[in-house]
């Protein structure tokens, strides 16, 4: 496992066309071993009856001025499934965001926003699953930084599900094992999913693993 971490090579794209809205895209985010473990975890969640998984429309989610949910998708927090977070392969893979290599990429390319990530000390993990007609209208997250990791089975059975940063007007194509990191205050959206052929079981749509990063005041020593 340790040798795999050392040998991993990210394909990093830094987007600074508009310096007001810098963000970073990482392809091959998970190593092959990590990706296999994450898919196994997602498949475990996938066998949960849909009626036991909350729809975004019924949860605390971004809403428009009329109170309508901006999101249509299945979603749940990893923390609700585990008594100990380190039992989750998805959570265990967050060591990447703590490495000096990762932090240097943000500091060198996403200042001054990067300061708020470097000083963050709390994260929560949300797993979302998009199927037919599911989408997310423009919204911003109530956190400091947002990390999105997309997981999609190939060959893909649907169109859509692409990600867009609204204010710099940049669309990023959906790709398996792709990660994007950006300040949570940026407006972003997800285009609707349209299946070519409706799958008979869950798991062939669009998974999004979201890590929200915040700062929490520490008790004085």
Tell me the per-residue pLDDT of 39-69, one tens digit each, with 9 for 90 and over: 999 998 876 666 666 766 655 555 566 666 6
The full 3-state SS of 123-154, as one line of letters, equals: EEEEEEEECCCCEEEEECCCCCEEEEEEECCC
How large is the average pLDDT for residues 75-84?
85
CA dist., res. 88 & res. 95, Å (int): 12
Between residues 158 and 217, the one the model is more confident about: 158
Domain enclosing residue 190, as ranges: 2-214
Q: Is residue 221 part of a domain?
A: no
Give the model's pLDDT for residue 18.
Answer: 73
Between residues 63 and 2, the one the model is more confident about: 63
Q: Is residue 16 part of a domain?
A: yes
Q: Is residue 147 part of a domain?
A: yes
CA dist., res. 163 & res. 72, Å (int): 15
Q: How much is the pTM?
A: 0.87
Q: Is residue 133 part of a domain?
A: yes
* pLDDT score of 219 more than 60: no
The full 3-state SS of the chain, as one line of letters, equals: CHHHHHHCCCEEEEECCCCCCCEEEEECCCCHHHHHHHHHHHHHHHCCCHHHCCEHHHCCCCECCCCCECEECEEEEHHHCCCCHHHCHHHHHHHHHHCHHHHHHHHHHCCCCHHHHHCCCEEEEEEEEECCCCEEEEECCCCCEEEEEEECCCCCCEEECCEEECCCCEEECCCCCEEEEEECCCCEEECCEEECCCCCCCCCCEEEEEEEEECCCCCCC
How large is the average pLDDT for residues 135-160?
94
CA dist., res. 95 & res. 1, Å (int): 13
Between residues 19 and 90, the one the model is more confident about: 90
The mean predicted confidence, pLDDT, of the chain is 85
CA dist., res. 103 & res. 39, Å (int): 26
Give the model's pLDDT for residue 79.
Answer: 86
Give the model's pLDDT for residue 62.
Answer: 57
Between residues 9 and 104, the one the model is more confident about: 104
Q: Is residue 54 part of a domain?
A: yes
* pLDDT score of 189 more than 90: yes
Q: Is residue 220 part of a domain?
A: no
104 contacts 118 by C-beta, under 8 angstroms = no
Between residues 25 and 18, the one the model is more confident about: 25
Q: Is residue 219 part of a domain?
A: no
**Counted domains in the chain:** 1
Q: In CATH, what number is assigned to the domain containing residue 32?
A: 2.60.120.620
119 contacts 161 by C-beta, under 8 angstroms = no
């Amino acid at each position: 496992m340790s040798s795999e971490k050392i040998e991993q090579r990210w394909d990093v794209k830094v987007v600074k066309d508009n310096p007001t809205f810098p963000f970073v895209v990482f392809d091959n985010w998970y190593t092959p071993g990590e990706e296999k473990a994450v898919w196994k975890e997602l498949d475990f969640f996938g066998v949960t009856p849909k009626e036991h998984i909350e729809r975004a429309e019924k949860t605390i989610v971004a809403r428009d001025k009329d109170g309508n949910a901006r999101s249509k998708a299945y979603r749940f927090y990893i923390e609700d499934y585990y008594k100990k977070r380190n039992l989750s392969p998805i959570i265990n893979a967050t060591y990447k965001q703590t490495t000096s290599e990762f932090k240097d990429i943000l500091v060198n390319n996403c200042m001054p926003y990067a300061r708020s990530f470097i000083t963050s000390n709390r994260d929560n993990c949300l797993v979302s699953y998009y199927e037919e007609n599911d989408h997310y209208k423009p919204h911003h997250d109530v956190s400091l930084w947002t990390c999105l990791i997309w997981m999609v089975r190939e060959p893909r059975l649907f169109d859509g599900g692409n990600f867009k940063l609204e204010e710099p007007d940049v669309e990023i194509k959906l790709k398996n094992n792709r990660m994007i990191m950006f300040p949570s205050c940026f407006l972003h959206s997800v285009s609707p999913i349209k299946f070519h052929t409706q799958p008979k079981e869950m798991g062939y749509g669009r998974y999004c693993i979201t890590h929200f990063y915040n700062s929490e005041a520490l008790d004085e020593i």
